[in-house]
A and B are shown apart, each in its own frame.
Chain A
């Protein structure tokens, strides 16, 4: 049983790490996980699902604004992008956030084509992230069902920020 739990835990950890390395998540997600404890066991799941709901709503409204080429309400699109960027950076959805950055640029120059492309990409990214996180949560559930604890701490190398490194050449 323990080996099963250990294996599951290892699987979970690797999967999570891979999500970081592939750029789906960043530090903020780690912070989010830190906030989850016995008092709020589903905090991350709640936040994340709220985020996805937000995403789909915003994407729908933005696609409606961008529908007709003659009168595109760029202000509305801009505010939508802003919201999306804020939400994604609060959650740690790195790829979504990056797409939002280029989306904002397209919006600033009022490039409808660019906006449509970015919108498509955002849609794709958030759905992809949703799938991935779904898998992660499934793994979590499996661990809990198997009686194990969800690994909370990670090896420090996953905090991917270039820090002081000794300039030793020898």
Chain B
């Protein structure tokens, strides 16, 4: 009996070999299918980024199930039970489900995966591009570095030859050139001469004319220009059978002058002078000129131009400096010579000043003495002539000496307070006798607002007025002479380059002297004030004078910050001399200053006035004491500052201290006396006796608290005046 078994009989062909192969294949497939997910898991675990895990799981499941299917297939080759079939079916069903799901999923996934690929490609391209750009930047930086280095080399020297040589050498090195040459324009500017080359030590000095078309082409642009290797400027190397001459580039180098540099501009390339730089690549190298290399060349050419111009500037400035030094030395010598000459002249003047005056005065003195004795009329006439001539001579000498001092600028006005009205009257009194003899009436008009007491140089002002009025008298044969003095504020008749501005305590005095005498040709007027010039038309030889009077007057007027001029309508029509001078207005209503031989008898009594004299020099101490005793004072003397401090007391009204000895110690005593007597009315007045009276001494005395300064040796009258002023005002700084 045949049992119905639940086994399924495979429908086999009886081919066992095929079965075996299928069996083996299924086995391997299963193994593979199982290992793939393992591998996937392994590698995905390894990788950090994989966004599709779910897909992986699905895929893994799909493969596993496929594998399972194939594995189960192994059992179906032999008689299998229903269980196996069931399992097989289940597996297949699952596999089918998963596969469909996976297939559906892949439809979504695969475009994504593909786009990843696209992005990857895109990024790769970008990276390549960036790489390229980096390459470019690096190249540029290299170029820049080269340029900087070159520039530094070129500019580190100011010597022309070094600059050019360095340029060629560095360029040759940087660009690996075969030959590099510089053509400079000749002096005529019509040719270019080969001046520097890199390889050849002694370049053959040959020239090319500057008007070649290739040269014009290069000079026409500031860029580097490729030129043919066969052009005349490039034919420098010995052509020794080279197949392919390297490419040649030429660039212009402007030769700038100092005048091209404006302060705030770049140098204008308005110069026409260029040099030519020619650069040759090595032959047979198939190298090409790259853009960055050309840029390098252009930049270098500019730098060379600047460096050359700096070198030129430096050369010029060195030359100028040498010239200046020479001039300096020459000037120094000249100045020293001039100083020596001035000193010699001053010495001469100083000596002659006295030496000439002494005999002069002797003559005058003795002649006047002689005049007072018994003389016959002829003798009297002779003596008078002698007197007149000698006083003339004395005047002349004084004039000449004054003038040289005036020109020197060493003459200073001696300012003092004086009575202006009295001055005019005195002048007139001096002139009147002569005027009366010549029958020329003189009138004096003083403006009502003319100040009476003024500050100025009385002596010199008198000299000026006397000179002018004297001239008026001298040159008039008839007519009258009028002297007018007024205060001028605004001036409408002075020469146009002079403005009168009255300031606070000063005023401008205008004096007009009008005569109806000979007059002056207007053309001669400018000459009047030049020394030694005499107007020929009316010089009566007996009138004498040296022509210096007006010149001196003019200088005095200028010293007084004024102006002097003469107006005349012509010969025979008289003339008017006008001058303005600046004078100060005095606040004092009484006369002080230059003490005249006893004009104001002093009634001040010094009897019993206690004074102290301090002087290290015995002789001068005795003299000063004698002086003061004669005036009636009670005098105590000390010979040192310590002694002075010991002896001085509030009973002493005045202390005279000698400060002639050099050093500041003498002045210290003034301070110590100030310290000793704190109450002002108890402190004695302090007066310094000194040998020089310049401003610094005065200032120093004032700064040390002295009440007055006196110039030694002191005359009796001086001392008298000084004492009375001092006791009245308690301060005295004018008695010099």
Instruction: Give A residues with C-beta under 8 Å from B.
Output: 21, 23, 27-28, 31-32, 34-35, 37, 39-40, 43, 46-47, 50-51, 54, 79, 82-83, 85-87, 89-92, 155, 157-158, 160, 162, 164-170
Contact = CB atoms under 8 A, between A and B. Distances in A.
B722 to A, nearest CB: 14
A21 B357 CA distance: 11
A169 B548 CA distance: 12
A46 B618 CA distance: 12
Contacts of B430: 166, 168
B574 interface: no
A82 B474 contact: no
Given A37-B630, A86-B691, A169 B470 contact: yes
B395 interface: yes
Nearest to B399: A167
Contacts of A23: 358
B93 to A, nearest CB: 139
Contacts of B616: 83
B564 to A, nearest CB: 15
B626 A167 contact: no
A83 B399 CA distance: 37
Contact of B364 (A28, A79, A87, A157): A157
Contact of A167 (B358, B549, B620): B549
Contacts of A166: 430, 466, 470
Contacts of B395: 165, 167, 169
Nearest to A34: B716
Given A35-B626, A170-B474, 9 more contacts: A31-B716, A35-B630, A86-B619, A87-B617, A89-B712, A158-B365, A168-B434, A170-B434, A170-B473
8 contacts: A35-B629, A47-B623, A47-B626, A79-B661, A90-B624, A155-B369, A157-B365, A168-B466
Contacts of A40: 626, 629-630
Contact of A50 (B545, B622, B661, B714): B622
B368 interface: yes
Q: Is the interface of B mostly helix, strand, loop or mixed?
A: helix
Contacts of B662: 82
B362 interface: yes
A40 B630 CA distance: 9
Contacts of A169: 392, 395, 470, 474, 543-545, 549
B358 A160 contact: yes
Contact of B459 (A27, A37, A51, A164): A164
B391 interface: yes
> In the complex, which of the residues A27, A89, A90 has the most CB atoms of chain B within 10 Å of its own CB atom?
A90
A51 B619 contact: yes
B711 to A, nearest CB: 11
Q: Name the interface size band of chain B.
A: 35 or more
A106 to B, nearest CB: 16
Contact of B619 (A21, A47, A165): A47
A82 B462 contact: no
Interface string B620-659: 1011101101100000000000000000000000000010
Given A91-B619, A169-B392, A170-B473, A35 B543 contact: no
Q: Which of A35, A40, A82 has the most CB of B within 10 A?
A: A35
B467 interface: yes
Nearest to B401: A162
Contacts of B544: 169
Nearest to B617: A86
B466 A32 contact: no
A169 B540 CA distance: 11
B715 interface: yes
Interface string B371-396: 00000000000000000000110110
Given A90-B623, A170-B473, A50 B618 contact: yes
Contacts of A31: 627, 713-716
Contacts of A91: 619, 623
